[in-house]
Copies of this chain bind each other. A is one copy, B any other.
């Protein structure tokens, strides 16, 4: 069983995914998230696919219903993303359990596959909007039509279903669609380029599954044609659609964040499958620039609400950043591909930061509701303002985000481990830490690991080798840069200070036997984090972090009515860590308590500006215990103010 993005044998990558024969989260957050995925989110998503009309649109296309097309042009993509989610989650349920009736994931997958098969046109075209609402309009408005985008998600769903079940039903539909795309778009004189990338990475994945070179050729063509004005005119300009510069030349990510990130995943996929080092380097360069200048502390991307775009360099307003949920998922997909291509730990770092913060915050703890935008601050009067809603919702007119969450959560375990073979030393790399068992072919044999940990709540990670190939191999454990004093116990010595290599990894090369155990002790001491001085919107503030988790202050946790917006943190804050088995129903957590100051100024009636040197309104200042919770758990207990970045006392 493989996960998302599995390069072919001939691909040029430093790392490869471990083809998992078995893998399952056995507890902790990942397990919780997947359980909620299956029991709450997916049933709800399937209800919404009926309620919002997505499935009816396909029934109309199949000639099996009457009525009008409903929703935006890309309604089919939501169906595909839910299908993909179901495909991944099928691995986590007992087959028998899931066959208990029409609510089963298997049944949903089979019935929807059959519907798609009936809806698909003879030439392979499948897009309910154009078939139902605009017959004859196909490929006439690619800048906004999302036709290749939808086809891409169909392909990704089919690839997932094939990888998890071996079934070929959905794959057959997807191949017909892809063959049709190749017929139409491989021609240089074809109709142009989709305004929303996604087909690029999907077609490479389909090539990986089927070996059909035309899919790779088409993906490559779509990538190379970008930046030449072929997308068509858009009110926000070519830059918004990443059509202003060829991908080999563009120095930085720009435009609509989700579009840009999906495109980059495809760029890396094409680069590794075609051994194109220059193409890979261009994408990696943009990733580095994006991380250094356009990424929220939570990993959120797309800092400007207007146009849902990447902002200017260092434009990272905590209150106004859009940080779309789909962008968080897409960022993880891009970083995963770069991690495979280069083997560099920094990509695993960003995956972890994004996963536990911007991404995980999108869904409510109960799995029912979602944020599309994920700001780092909510003001006390947010409910009285006009603009983006500052609360989660079950579904949306443009419902891209909920199934972006469910499909990533469903495949989480695949992002934990990779293998490399450099210099004749087979190495198993553990990038993410979660309670997990896994096994797969490795180093000419078969490897099995059992990971036991309460991470990210505690820093202890116990890795037990349950199966081992013959001969020596290396186990590499990623040591995050925030872990300043890291120790480990190996089969050979205990309590040793870890010396990480230049990739930030603790590596132990030896012959392993089943039962051998390594215990990594990561240092989760809470820390204050400062922003780069160029980030104007964060000047004078600090954020609280603990391990991979960004923390925030929510109004509900503050004592004595201290307003979150009045809090100021001492630079020498010492945090008391308080573990909860279940905090008000949101599950296990660790809250952080510290002394802080509540600074309240007399609010003047005039302008909120004063001359330096003039008398300031009298500030009163009282000590208080302030309590922070993990950002990803925010807004599960009331709609009050929240802030990640908090003024530093005297800052």
Contacts and interface: CB of A to CB of B under 8 A. Distances in A.
A304 B603 CA distance: 22
A252 B384 contact: yes
Interface string A436-479: 00000000000000000000000000000000000000000000
A544 to B, nearest CB: 10
A50 to B, nearest CB: 25
A261 interface: no
Contacts of A319: 312, 315, 536
Contacts of A311: 385
A387 B317 contact: no
Interface string A52-91: 0000000000000000000000000000000000000000
A92 interface: no
B313 A377 contact: no
Interface in A525-546: 527-537, 539-543, 545
A285 to B, nearest CB: 10
B312 A527 contact: no
Interface in A267-324: 288, 291-293, 295, 297, 304-307, 309-320
A336 B603 CA distance: 25
Contact of A534 (B388, B530, B565): B565
A503 to B, nearest CB: 14
A606 B254 contact: no
Nearest to A350: B607
A651 interface: yes
A482 interface: yes
Query: How many copies of this chain does the complex contain?
Result: 2
B606 A297 contact: no
A214 interface: no
A571 interface: yes
Given A313-B379, A386-B254, A532 B601 contact: yes
- For the residues of A in contact with B, the DSSP-based class is loop
Nearest to A534: B565
Contacts of A293: 608
Interface in A361-389: 377, 379-382, 384-388
Most buried by B among A313, A314, A316, A353: A313
Nearest to A387: B306
A386 B236 contact: yes
Contact of A312 (B256, B384, B539): B384
A610 interface: yes
A309 B529 contact: no
Nearest to A294: B608
A639 B609 CA distance: 28
A67 to B, nearest CB: 23
A371 to B, nearest CB: 16
Contacts of A297: 607, 609
A530 B610 contact: yes
Contacts of A15: none
B609 A532 contact: yes
Contacts of A381: 312-313
A288 B609 CA distance: 14
A388 B237 CA distance: 11
A304 to B, nearest CB: 6
Given A236-B387, A237-B386, A386-B240, A609 B543 contact: yes
9 contacts: A237-B386, A254-B384, A292-B607, A304-B385, A314-B608, A317-B320, A320-B320, A528-B613, A534-B608
